[in-house]
Chains A and B, each alone.
Chain A
């Protein structure tokens, strides 16, 4: 990659750094503004207004950051990869901000907390963490950003203080997360020890050799543990079902969408850049140790565990959690096709998956507010109670199942064909793709069970529930459904932008 400005050495100006990191700064400022506004101005107001105003400030922050990036496309590389600004990173950041925006919007009608300012500030801080995560190629910076994101998300998980489940989920999440963070830190320090540098490129340069050092293997596995935890890949997924079920719905949605996009981006970058030369091979009869077979095993495991465990779930949230694990498996396949358009396919998949799962969680949130539960039976007869919501949910579920012409299908197709593309490092991974497709068929069963409840099952005691979803929710969910549909019908729009951003220079 040729950067416009090589701000090497010690003598870099802070103004320039600020200029490059302006979007992150805007988000951080917005977080502070929300906090301040809620603390000083909004205390006396009704919760409804506090939520609305805080959300508005947050939205303004997000939109401003997006606008900044669209208006002033920057290129820059600060201190040998500690902070990188390039078109691809900016595009991913824009995607993250859009997901954050939708998360904020579906939180508008929530009633799980009275601390509106803190809630939105944490969402924004997590977003800032993710943004830093995607704009660095330095292990130290990666760890700090990961921690910023994770800590914010722990708190978001615990935000429903009246609900013991929320607290329990947060505790598990925290314990599991800090354990894996410890592993990651250990792994990263081993890397530093091996190479004497924190920069991914220099690490890659120093580890290149004919054979893998056992220490490097240890470092690799430990690094993968931390990132695998972030993206909820098996066997580091164990936290996910509990968290998705226990966390407030918008938090769960955010964990499942934005955090996942950032996690996969950084995983792909660490593997492809930092462990360049240690790929190995995951081909059926050509096993060579390296990160490719490692991720392939994780991918296969994730798909199997996610899809099978989802079959027996009765809680829609847990079902979505296992579905998320399965999707993490699919996306790991995308990581294996890391070169060029392989990354584009991964990003397309993760972004559209983020939108879809956000929408699905949004619907779950509405239904939960109406019925007080998220069991499959709570969705019975939704199509008669709230047809608009039912149609949105149908689009989300079918997209998750990978039915054309929705985005989920295009993403899967694009990604699998990228893996099998001649010249891709994942070329020998036909077995994995076959497994993925077979398990997609299995997944249809549990996805369709949700739809069966919505459209076929009779509504028990119709009329006892408030049948009208809040207008803002309906509009937001409708917009998400439309986006999923349009991205499925016209995938070229996003794919071309991703490919364009990835083009060198």
Chain B
């Protein structure tokens, strides 16, 4: 099997940004252009290589070369070698292009967005490091390498959320993100170790020996744990815990909205398009393991059922929270959580292609939305509360147009927007799911709410009249203080030019490019021409319009169309006709104040965690501290005092008794030496006398012995 050049040199793709990160870490702070140029240049080359890899994957689609694996030895462990490697298959190729493209656009956008930040170089260093780790994760052919990159991705996420670490809220958010995802990672690691113990390898594909190859899976399927759960299911669920943490699924979603404390390009790149999708990608990557059914069983894979339910619940849960938020980025953050739930749902009910298609389309339109939001924030002088915006349509036409495209894609407006097709795919799969209909209903509800909250946001931000000037009034300042959950503006400003303005071309150009992809990507996965699906599954496809009329397909399409338009209409009816003022309470709040408060406070999940886990932890820490301070330290102090006392006694004994005795002994030894050597006075007569004396004494000694015996 001849391997392609691109497959053999796939490692270059993550290594290039890594080099860029290393070099810009060495650069001085004022070398801004160097850092940015390096990052963007490395990303551009990586994109070219990714495109080449993609082309290779397309060329070999459906052949035995569709999966090309390069494994190498890392170090020796026990009897065997720990091996790492990379893999080029359709899944990798698609993710590579997506990450590189979105990454490149966001890098370019960041140059404009971060132009005024003094730590410009550090920002690009972190971004490059992130890109490197993310790409490494994508190409990894070993769960170990995957996990390493996964952790580096988590680290960069932490670093970038806390990029403005002088803000306490940013520092806290960074910590929260890191610790929360770490909970999932712990389970993930346990799953990895267990898998290694069972399969003996962590390579995904290794010429039939890897843990995702059929022999290993067949071996795993026969094993049952003591709890009655099949081993692969248990491992899959543990691995899924990692994905839950990283992708912000229930119940570990709490970090993602807070992560919006980071700079907006970070939110776009890491917390919308790529990193949070890593969890989805992980599930897609180990899908064979997830989909494994116990030998002899005919029911569906238990792991997939769990994934589907978690995804569906997350989708609805997060969408409902987004309805009541007022921070532009937070709305998008909950939207991201919700959409990630959709992806999980898609994976659970439909398979890799369904989930991955939504992942790709979502990456583009969510990046677009975030960057649009960034543009809005930038144009409104770091204002993030949607109630203080309004009427920006006139001031920021490009941002408005692209944002609208993103919004429609997210809402699922039919035919022309990619979000419609990918979401429709998920709903279709959920509709066809044999286990239960409920995920489908939840998905429809989620889609409805998605359309609704996006319309609400659009109305607040771009329609009506501009309320930005109101910010100057003391009343609004008080109102801002009263509003919970809204972070302080990113850069407290001294003066406020009232007029919002359009962002520079450096920021709007990437928006336009993303908008283009947002529209076009959808056509790669329509039921009439499901190219993405067949590419991932290694089949050939042809345009088949009749696919649209297959039973079920049209029904679901109609339902989602109706749902989308219902949501948009509802939103416009409530918010668009009569734009609110800042002082007015929300329309929904007037109607259902309790429910709205519940949603605005995010179902009090943070508070619940605060009272339970954090409280328990704090209580435990206090208890430990008390124990340490009073019991252990007391014991230590006591022992220390005892030792000091013994030492004192010892010293007294040493000085007064031992030393004195020793000194005395030494003195007497010396004296005796002196006496002995005085005996040696040099008189030979005496010497000879001694000789004679010795003879007599020794003879007498022996004779006396003879007599005695």
A287 to B705, CA, bound (A): 7
Report the stretch among B266-274, B651-659, B679-687 that lies at the interface: B679-687
With A183-B695, A310-B673 as given contacts, are A175 and B688 in contact (CB-CB < 8 Å)?
yes
Q: Are A172 and B709 in touch, CB under 8 angstroms?
A: no
Expressed in whole angstroms, the Cα–Cα distance for A211 and B702 within the complex equals: 11
Within 8 A of B (CB), among A120-155: none
| Chain B residue contacts of A211, Cβ below 8 A | 706, 709
> In the complex the two chains form, is A238's CB within 8 Å of B690's CB?
yes
Most chain A CB within 10 A, of B669, B682, B690, B698, is at B698
CA of A241 to CA of B679, assembled, Å:
12
Interface size class of A (residues with CB under 8 A): 35 or more
Smallest Cβ distance from A277 to chain B, in angstroms? 15
* Contact in complex: B709, A288 (CB < 8 Å): yes
Contact B691–A217 (Cβ < 8 Å): no
Partner of A309, one of B677, B691, B704, B706: B677
Interface residue? A335 (CB, 8 A)? no
The reply to whether A294 and B698 contact each other, CB–CB distance below 8 Å, is yes
Instruction: Indicate if A313 sits at the interface (CB-CB under 8 A).
Output: yes
* Docked CA distance A290–B691 (Å): 20
Chain A contacts of B677 at CB under 8 A? 241, 309, 312-313, 322
Q: Does B598 contact A (CB under 8 A)?
A: no
Of A212, A311, A322, A445, the contact of B706 (CB 8 Å cutoff): A212
Determine if A179 is an interface residue (Cβ-Cβ < 8 Å): yes
Pairwise interchain contact A214-B687, C-beta atoms closer than 8 A: no
CB-based contact A172/B706 at 8 Å: no
Chain A, 163-192, contact with B by CB distance < 8 Å: what is the 0/1 string? 000000001100110011001000000000
Q: Does A458 contact B (CB under 8 A)?
A: no
For residue B672, which residues in chain A have a CB less than 8 angstroms away from its CB? 308
B624 contacts chain A at the CB level, 8 A cutoff: no
| B680 and A176 contacting across the interface, CB-CB below 8 Å | no
Q: CB-CB < 8 A to A289: which residues of B?
A: 701-706, 709
Q: A179-B691, A288-B705 given as contacts; is B699 within 8 A of A217 (CB)?
A: yes
Answer whether residue B227 sits at the interface, using C-beta atoms and an 8 A cutoff: no
Residues of chain A with a CB closer than 8 A to B695's CB: 183, 221-222, 225
- Binary B-proximity of A41-81 (CB < 8 A = 1, otherwise 0): 00000000000000000000000000000000000000000
A37 and B703 CA atoms in complex are apart in Å by: 55
* Interface flag for B552 (CB, 8 Å): no
Q: Which of B674, B691, B699, B705 contacts A312 (CB 8 A)?
A: B674
Known: A297-B701, A312-B673. A175 touches B709 (CB 8 A): no
- The reply to whether B684 and A225 contact each other, CB–CB distance below 8 Å, is no
Q: How far is the CB of B708 from chain A (nearest CB, A)?
A: 8
Instruction: Identify which of B673, B682, B690 contacts A235 (C-beta below 8 A).
Output: B690
The smallest C-beta distance from A143 to any residue of chain B, in angstroms, reads: 18
Given contacts A238-B687, A242-B682, A289-B705, contact A311 B699 (CB under 8 A): no
B residues near A280, Cβ cutoff 8 Å: 705
With an 8 A cutoff between CB atoms, is B670 at the interface? Answer: yes
Question: Which one of A212, A287, A289, A313 has the greatest number of beta carbons of chain B within 10 Å?
Answer: A289
Per-residue contact bits, chain A 275-294, to B (CB 8 Å; 1 contact, 0 not) = 00000100000011110011
Answer whether residue A305 sits at the interface, using C-beta atoms and an 8 A cutoff.
Answer: yes
Minimal beta-carbon separation of A210 from chain B (angstroms): 10
Taking each of A235, A238, A313, which has the highest tally of chain B beta carbons within 10 Å of its own beta carbon?
Answer: A238
* CB–CB B680/A308 < 8 A: no
Q: A288-B705, A289-B702, A312-B670 are in contact. Are A236 and B684 (CB under 8 A)?
A: no
Chain B 542-584: CB-based contact to A (< 8 A → 1; otherwise 0): 0000000000000000000000000000000000000000000
Q: Are A225 and B694 in contact (CB under 8 A)?
A: yes
Compute how far the CA of A211 lies from the CA of B684 in the bound complex, rounded to whole angstroms. 37
CA distance A179 to B666 in the complex (A): 36
The answer, yes or no, to whether B77 is at the interface (CB within 8 Å) is: no
Task: State whether B673 touches A236 (Cβ < 8 A).
Answer: no
- B461-498 to A contact mask, C-beta < 8 Å, 1/0: 00000000000000000000000000000000000000
Q: Are A172 and B684 in contact (CB under 8 A)?
A: yes
| A172 and B687 in contact, given A241-B680, A309-B673, A311-B670 (Cβ under 8 angstroms) | yes
Contact check, B670 vs A236: say whether CB atoms are below 8 A apart.
Answer: no
Return chain A residues, CB-CB under 8 Å to B709.
211, 288-289
- Given contact pairs A176-B687, A179-B688, A236 touches B694 in the complex (Cβ within 8 A): yes
Please determine whether A225 and B691 come into contact, CB atoms closer than 8 angstroms.
yes
CB of B676 within 8 A of CB of A214, answer no
Shortest CB–CB separation between residue B680 and chain A, in angstroms? Answer: 6
Interface residues of A in 297-336 (CB under 8 A from B): 297, 305, 308-313, 322
Does A218 lie at the interface of the complex (its beta carbon under 8 Å from any beta carbon of B)?
yes
In the complex formed, the residue of A with least CB distance to B688 is A179
A427 CB within 8 Å of chain B: no
B684/A176 in contact, CB under 8 A:
yes
A239 CB–B CB distance under 8 Å: yes
- Extra 10 A-B pairs, beta carbons < 8 Å, given A312-B670, A313-B677: A220-B702, A221-B702, A235-B691, A238-B680, A238-B687, A308-B672, A308-B673, A309-B673, A309-B677, A309-B680
5 example contacts (A-B, Cβ-Cβ < 8 A) are as follows A176-B688, A220-B702, A235-B690, A239-B687, A297-B698
Smallest CB-CB A-B distances: 8 pairs: A289-B705, A311-B673, A238-B687, A308-B673, A309-B676, A312-B673, A289-B702, A309-B677
The interface of chain A, by Cβ under 8 A from chain B, is 171-172, 175-176, 179-180, 183, 211-212, 214, 217-218, 220-222, 224-225, 235-236, 238-239, 241-242, 280, 287-290, 293-294, 297, 305, 308-313, 322, 442, 445
